[in-house]
Copies of this chain bind each other. A is one copy, B any other.
Amino acid sequence: MSGRWILLLAVVLSMTKPSLGKEPPSTKLPTMAEVISNSTSVDWKAIDPENTLYVDLKKGRVVIELAPVFAPNTVANVKALVRDGYYEGIRINRVQDNRVVAWEFPDADQTNMARRIKHGKSTLPPEFERMIDPALPFTRLPDGDVYAPEVGFCGDFPAGRDPQSGKMWLLHEYGMVGVGRDNALDSGGGTELYVIIGQAPRDLDRNVTLIGRVVQGMEFLTALPRGTGDMGYYVKPSQYVKIKSIRVASDVPPAKRTNLEVMRTDTTAFHDLIESRRNRREDWFRIAAGKIEIVNVPIPVRPVH
């Protein structure tokens, strides 16, 4: 998106400020709802069941889209752990307000549980960042970022880039899924998983391996009671939240899958969506920010019909 186009948009917008309410609807720039409703099938793509995890809780299903482009070894390992049956009986044991929901076996059980691992590994070298590849799409946001030299969307994920180091990485924000680790950088492999449930803790970027993002069912995680222990750990096992199963979607019979498609981020429609969020056009708004942080750009997801 060129700076000139943005400037033009800003000028056009200032002439069509929704709060004036005098222009016929046809001259208005579209709201996000209109961008989505005007989109066509080429603006969407199905999420690959082989790179989708279902975390089934009593209240509903949490669907995670995995990001093998950013963390190939860790994603493969988590799928191996799933298929080894490693997670059977695992429970959510940490809900830290405005921070994370996480699950791992209690320390006392971990040696025992490690015996389940056959094709996976309990720990892996970190995948905190990867090299920039010009072949990968990157829809860069125009408004800068406090933490990263560049931010934008790479495929279905928010990413940061540093042209100087030649590296790119996934961003810690609401809904992103990572593998917990201890102080040693290679101590995380997927035996502990976490989901960000609050304000983007961007100081974690490039400190932990992120493996994907929740594309449906966040509300089953975010509404859990907060743990009262240090860092939000539940203090009594009776508070732990049972996870019925964790499965790779492709292992689930087709009739029991949650088939979703995600809006492509390399299309004109998605550019329009970004603009609709930079400059809110809904009648309620008095002023449009004219800018946006990456975490405030949603990547729409919908059921496959």
Interface residues of A (CB under 8 A from B): 95, 97-98, 128, 143-147, 173-174, 182-183, 185, 198-203, 205-207, 218-219, 222-226, 277, 280, 283-289, 291-293, 295-296
Contact = CB atoms under 8 A, between A and B. Distances in A.
A287 B206 contact: yes
Contacts of A295: 199
A280 B172 CA distance: 16
A57 to B, nearest CB: 13
Contact of A286 (B98, B128, B223, B296): B128
Given A146-B145, A284-B183, A174 B203 contact: no
Given A174-B198, A174-B199, A202-B289, 11 more contacts: A97-B218, A97-B219, A97-B222, A98-B218, A198-B199, A199-B295, A202-B293, A203-B277, A206-B287, A207-B287, A223-B223
Nearest to A146: B293
A296 B185 CA distance: 24
Q: How many copies does the complex hold?
A: 2
A2 B284 CA distance: 40
B203 A280 contact: yes
Contacts of A185: 286
A146 B292 CA distance: 7
A13 to B, nearest CB: 13
Contact of A296 (B203, B226, B292): B203
Contacts of A98: 174, 218, 222
A261 to B, nearest CB: 21
B147 A293 contact: yes
Contacts of A293: 146-147, 202
A210 to B, nearest CB: 14
A291 B222 contact: no
B223 A226 contact: yes
A291 B205 CA distance: 12
22 contacts: A97-B218, A98-B174, A146-B146, A146-B291, A146-B292, A174-B198, A174-B199, A182-B284, A183-B283, A183-B284, A185-B286, A198-B199, A202-B289, A203-B285, A203-B288, A203-B289, A203-B296, A219-B225, A219-B226, A222-B222, A223-B223, A223-B224
Contacts of A283: 183
Which of A128, A202, A280 is the most central at the interface, judged by chain B CB atoms within 10 Å of its CB? A202
B147 A205 contact: no
B218 A296 contact: no
B147 A146 contact: no
